Amino acid sequence: MSALEDLIAAGRALVDAGLSPGTSGNVSVRDDDRLLMSGTGTRLGALTPEDIAVLTLAGEIVGGARPSKEVPLHVAMYARNPEHRAVVHVHSPSTVAVSCLEPWAPHSAVPPLTPYSLMRVGQVPLLDFVPPGDPAMGALITDCPVPFRAALLANHGAVVSAAEAAAAVDSTIELEEACRITLLTDGRQRRLIAPERVAEITARWGTPWTATASVS
């Protein structure tokens, strides 16, 4: 499929998974030296070519629809992970809920409760709050001291990047599930995956995880 078709399919998949109600969330795909991004106010499950904004890799508008206000967020994610070709931003219920809590650890708001989030996502730092669309969000992404391919935006939602659009969607779905399990186990005595197993899993799957002392 073309980059445009990938973007439209990703939007539909996010809505089908229940992660993008109404006109919330946005998706972008890198197409050589430009970005294709869902336009502002669009419904991700019903995107058409006319709903897509075309931007430079620096975020300058060169054609198409008016882009989402979250351009700085997307641009910073591509700059941080240059090999990635898709970025997803959602306000899904469980990611928003966890983004409103104190993080489990400095390097990850989400604890290592299942192997699947480790395999597909790795660590998920919680970034400080700034209003949606604030250019400062780009700096938060750029300046985060730990590696990541997904992050929670405080009191806001999640952002995920991946090598292709379908993988970004899958990782976003897995992150929502990991956050749901985090909420279900909050306040209880958790059985976390042991640090040495976490290291094995993330090394095998090539996902980021910062080795730290055990956190309960």
**Catalytic machinery residues:** 70, 116
* 3-state SS assignment for residue 110: coil
Q: Which pair of structure tokens corresponds to residue 33?
A: 């030296």
The b-or-e profile of 63-92 (16+ CB within 10 A means b, else e) is ebbebbebbbbbbbbbebbeebbbbbbbbb
Q: Which pair of structure tokens corresponds to residue 81?
A: 């992970």
Compute, in degrees rounded to 10, the torsion defined by CA atoms 74, 80, 82, 88: -30
